Amino acid sequence: MIWVAATLIAALAQTARNAAQSGLTARIGTIGATSVRFIFGLPFAALALLCLSAFADLPPIALRALAFTALGAVAQIAATAFMLLTMRGQSFGIATALMKTEPVTLAIIGAVVLAEPLGPARMTAIAMATLGVVLSSGARWSRAGLRPVLTGLVAGALFGLSAVGFRGALLSLPPGGYVVHALTILVLTLALQSAAMLVWLIMVDRAALRGIVAEWRVSLSAGALGAFASLFWFIGFALTPAANVRTLALVEVVFAQIVSGRVFRERTSKRQLAGMALIVAGVGLLLAVATT
């Protein structure tokens, strides 16, 4: 059950990264702020891998592992672009709910691409937790336009595809320790993404690139937290199907609702309570299936 602890750590670290990164968007734009997680995360991941290489042999990267890593890296960048497009054309609640459909598409893609088991109990658990997120989002679906809904669903599917790519890359490595495997694929992923984003910024948005350099202190903290969170996501992917990891991560929604109620005194509706109950029930069923 190491993957459970790794997933919870990753979710908490990602929340901290988002907090550190949120202020950058207003100052350097969405593309610049998004690039920070890759460009400033790479040095920390590379340094960690260098230190680990003194105690463990690094796995060789075959063409299959490289192809899966590239698939995950490109799909994640594309998913982020569609996510930003959805948030621009729709309310935050609707956009968030659409992003969280990822576990459903992830389970289906994983079954097709990686031949991972997709039994009725596991799919029921994923569907319950995902429906719970939709209900707890508080989104007013009557106001949702068709185009933002479609881009949101595409973003969720692409995030799922990226997780399948990372899972496939990890499975393509020869037998070895899951930590060194996760860190190796993470460094390769961040290197590919950083190169792609730097080319884009140099050619299209040099103002954002200058902003990233000017905000290097905040960017460093966001990059460090991002690399830390990604490492634990990858550890989870190395130990269990990616759909299990991303479904368990939906409990983050429950934590956010609890914090908003206790700290910010925000009222929780009956529909949101029902959604949180579905998330907990779905995650509980998933854990029961995963441990049998």
pLDDT of residue 163: 92
Mean per-residue pLDDT for 226-255? 87
The 10s digit of each residue's pLDDT in 256-266 is 666 555 444 55
* Mean predicted confidence (pLDDT) in 131-155: 70
- What pLDDT is attached to residue 119? 81
Which pLDDT value is given to residue 21? 65
Q: Which two tokens stand for residue 3?
A: 């993957």
Q: Is the pLDDT of residue 25 over 80?
A: no
Number of domains in the chain: 1
Give the integer Cα–Cα distance in Å for 215 and 210.
9
Q: Which of 95, 71, 69 is nearest to 84 (CA)?
A: 95
Domain that includes residue 244, residue range: 2-290
Q: Does 48 or 157 have the greater pLDDT score? A: 48
> Considering only 54-58, 95-99, 138-142, 230-234, which range has the smallest mean pLDDT?
138-142
Buried b (16+ CB within 10 A) or exposed e, 214-244: ebeebbbbbbbbbbbbbbbbbbbbbbbbbbb
* Mean pLDDT for the stretch of residues 188-202: 94
Phi-psi map region of 180: left, alpha, beta (phi>0 left; psi -120 to 50 alpha): alpha
Task: Tell whether the model's pLDDT for residue 79 goes beyond 60.
Answer: yes
Per-residue pLDDT, 185: 97
Between 236 and 27, residue with greater pLDDT: 236
- Give the pLDDT score at 192: 96
